Structure 1
Amino acid sequence: MKRDFMKWMAGFRDSIATYDYYIDFAKVYRNVAELKIELNILNTLVGSKTIEKDFRHILGKYPEVLKCIPLLLAVRKEEIYCQDEQGGYIYDFSHQVFTENRIPVDRYVYFMERTGLFELLSHRIIQSVFDYATGVETGLDSNGRKNRGGHLMEDLVESFIKKNGFVKGDSYFKEMYIHEITGKWGIDLGAISNDGRAEKRFDFVVKTKNMTYGIEANFYASAGSKLNETARSYKTLALETDTIEGFAFVWFTDGKGWASARHNLEETFDIMEHIYNIKDLENGIVGEVFV
């Protein structure tokens, strides 16, 4: 029976965020703990009335505190470029600069002054450098949501695959390339690899007695140009796999972001047998299809 596209799409979700999606606190704590000693040394500058003198003294005794400085500015790099009316300069905060004790102290004093870090510390705008660094790490980790979000749908699909009795490495496989599928089961996938000249990786491959299923899983919470391209490319992939005996392409997708690319998605829906959303997963589609 032909499914109704609009009814199917009406079940799309706004979000599938899990509790650990927003911030990976374990990673935050781990990153800050690696700098705990150096951060606490810098903490002696909080409220300092002679902060330049004190900072010079710290660099003389504990030059390794330099590796903390980029974090205080929410920067992940070991080298930071800055310029002003005096010109430009690349500041090195790597392990090498403080182990070889070739620190241009005047330069780093200038850096601390011009970036506002001296003011932050000496005026007691913060009370604890360690706590401040934890906050900065938390903010930086929020940038990782996109990467975590990209795996949420994959994790969800995998959980339903497992619930239906499939075993990783035996009856289902994660992130499998076309050449690996061909090598393992002898399936000719030339129709989707341009006769071996192009490579394709499926998020999952499920192997049953009668069929091999190549699976893609994604979720789009917001609109974007990528959605139209995804719908078009998966439509082509579905048409190509229809010509391959013993192989089927299955696409699990969801998310309100599809509203902006509804027409392209509908074109794919109309020609693709195995396209499903989260509601389909919850209604047992895995057990119905992978037989």
Structure 2
Amino acid sequence: MNRNFKEWFSTFSPSISDYSYYTDFEKILKNVDSIKVELNILNSLIGSNNISHDFIDLVKKYPDTLKCIPILLAVRSNEIFIKDKDKELIYNFNKPNMNFSDYGIFMEKTGLFSLMEKSKIKDLVDYVTGVETGLDSNSRKNRGGHIMENLVESHISKYCQEHGFEYFKEMRSRDVELKWNIDLGDISNNDKVIKRFDFVIKTNTCAYLIEANFYSSQGSKLNETARSYKNIAIEMKNVEGAEFIWFTDGYGWKSARNNLEETFDNMKHIYNIKDLNSGILDEIIV
């Protein structure tokens, strides 16, 4: 099949985002609810005239409130590292490893005392809900990947049901080798590198190893992704009983267009969403 990269690339999609892509409020509210009691206890410090003293008294009585502090700084960790002049400190907020007064110093120097003392925030539950919403935006890339995987799987599932084939999700190269006696040593460096495929379709004559991803934003990582898949495609040419298929799409590829074109020129099976919708599986799976 002779294809023109420029024509193919012109059919890429700007987005596949559904309503659930932007913010996962169910997860956000679950995270907030898990520390809601402790946050409400800390609310008593808002507007305090002697916040350092009141904080130490409070955490002595309610030490579990310490676990809320990292998220106030938009940090998802029980430990926070601090370089303080000639000292290196690690504050543990799950299992206190310092005096409560030291945690007071942490609150002061990070600006949290100022935030609460001067009533710049009114309610820590609402504040943390906002922080969680902001942090959740970092998960959009993963959600975008899952949306693409779900889209590809819907086509794979329909095709396999119609033709009586099996397909498998998230299958490691080693498992492919053991299940069907296919030598994938070239792509796994003789099992030194674990390679996991998003999907594997097994027909009577071939195992189709499938990767699926979507990139809505640009970045240098895409150049490496294109090179990596090109190398896999080249190495797969010597493998008997298996084919490598890559479904990718998204305007993020604009920044790595040249690398993608090089991969396109070296891959037998590289397709986008338009190809899927046009029934490409019927043409390539036998």
Relative to structure 1, is the Cα distance of residues 208 and 42 closer, same or farther in structure 2, using a 3 angstrom cutoff? same
Determine helix, strand or coil for the equivalent of 1:164.
helix
How many angstroms apart in 2 are the aligned matches of 1:192 and 1:116?
Answer: 51
How many angstroms apart in 1 are the aligned matches of 2:176 and 2:232?
Answer: 16
Q: C-alpha displacement at 1:152, in angstroms?
A: 3.1
Of 110, 116, 121 in structure 1, the residue corresponding to residue 111 of structure 2 is 116
Partner of 1:59: 59
Partner of 2:43: 43
Does the CA-based 8 Å contact 2:91-2:98 persist in structure 1? no
Q: C-alpha displacement at 1:86, in angstroms?
A: 9.2
Please tell me whether residue 80 in structure 1 is matched to residue 80 in structure 2: yes
Determine helix, strand or coil for the equivalent of 2:47.
coil
Relative to structure 1, is the Cα distance of residues 90 and 249 closer, same or farther in structure 2, using a 3 angstrom cutoff? closer
Partner of 2:215: 220
Partner of 2:24: 24
Per-residue Cα deviation, 1:116-143 (whole angstroms, up to 9, x for no partner): 2222222221111111111111122222
Relative to structure 1, is the Cα distance of residues 236 and 108 closer, same or farther in structure 2, using a 3 angstrom cutoff? closer
Does the CA-based 8 Å contact 1:166-1:172 persist in structure 2? no
Q: C-alpha displacement at 1:262, in angstroms?
A: 2.6
How many angstroms apart in 2 are the aligned matches of 1:202 and 1:26?
Answer: 29
Q: C-alpha displacement at 1:174, in angstroms?
A: 1.3
Q: How does 1:119-134 map to 2 (within 5 A)?
A: 119-134=114-129
Please tell me whether residue 157 in structure 1 is matched to residue 161 in structure 2: no
Per-residue Cα deviation, 1:152-172 (whole angstroms, up to 9, x for no partner): 3222211221232449xx711
How many angstroms apart in 1 are the aligned matches of 2:223 and 2:103?
Answer: 49
Structure 1 vs Structure 2 CA RMSD: 2.6
Deviates more, 1:238-247 or 1:137-146: 238-247
Q: How does 1:99-248 map to 2 (within 5 A)?
A: 104-166=99-161, 171-194=166-189, 198-248=193-243
Does the CA-based 8 Å contact 1:258-1:265 persist in structure 2? yes
Letter in 2 for 1:69: I
Partner of 1:276: 271
Q: TM-score, normalised by structure 2?
A: 0.87
Q: C-alpha displacement at 1:196, in angstroms?
A: 5.1
Per-residue Cα deviation, 1:100-122 (whole angstroms, up to 9, x for no partner): xx762322222222222222222
Does the CA-based 8 Å contact 2:47-2:119 persist in structure 1? yes
How many angstroms apart in 2 are the aligned matches of 1:137 and 1:253?
Answer: 30
Letter in 2 for 1:92: N
Determine helix, strand or coil for the equivalent of 1:244.
coil
How many angstroms apart in 2 are the aligned matches of 1:118 and 1:199?
Answer: 47
What is the count of residue pairs matched by the alignment? 284
Relative to structure 1, is the Cα distance of residues 231 and 91 closer, same or farther in structure 2, using a 3 angstrom cutoff? closer
Q: C-alpha displacement at 1:226, in angstroms?
A: 3.1
How many angstroms apart in 2 are the aligned matches of 1:36 and 1:205?
Answer: 44
Relative to structure 1, is the Cα distance of residues 203 and 83 closer, same or farther in structure 2, using a 3 angstrom cutoff? closer
Relative to structure 1, is the Cα distance of residues 160 and 63 closer, same or farther in structure 2, using a 3 angstrom cutoff? same
Relative to structure 1, is the Cα distance of residues 189 and 85 closer, same or farther in structure 2, using a 3 angstrom cutoff? closer
Q: C-alpha displacement at 1:43, in angstroms?
A: 0.9
Deviates more, 1:109-118 or 1:219-228: 219-228
Gaps of 5+ in 1: none
Determine helix, strand or coil for the equivalent of 2:169.
strand
Q: C-alpha displacement at 1:12, in angstroms?
A: 0.9
Partner of 2:33: 33
Deviates more, 1:171-180 or 1:280-289: 280-289
How many angstroms apart in 2 are the aligned matches of 1:166 and 1:51?
Answer: 65
Partner of 2:257: 262
Relative to structure 1, is the Cα distance of residues 279 and 63 closer, same or farther in structure 2, using a 3 angstrom cutoff? same
Relative to structure 1, is the Cα distance of residues 86 and 128 closer, same or farther in structure 2, using a 3 angstrom cutoff? farther
Q: C-alpha displacement at 1:85, in angstroms?
A: 6.3
Please tell me whether residue 69 in structure 1 is matched to residue 64 in structure 2: no
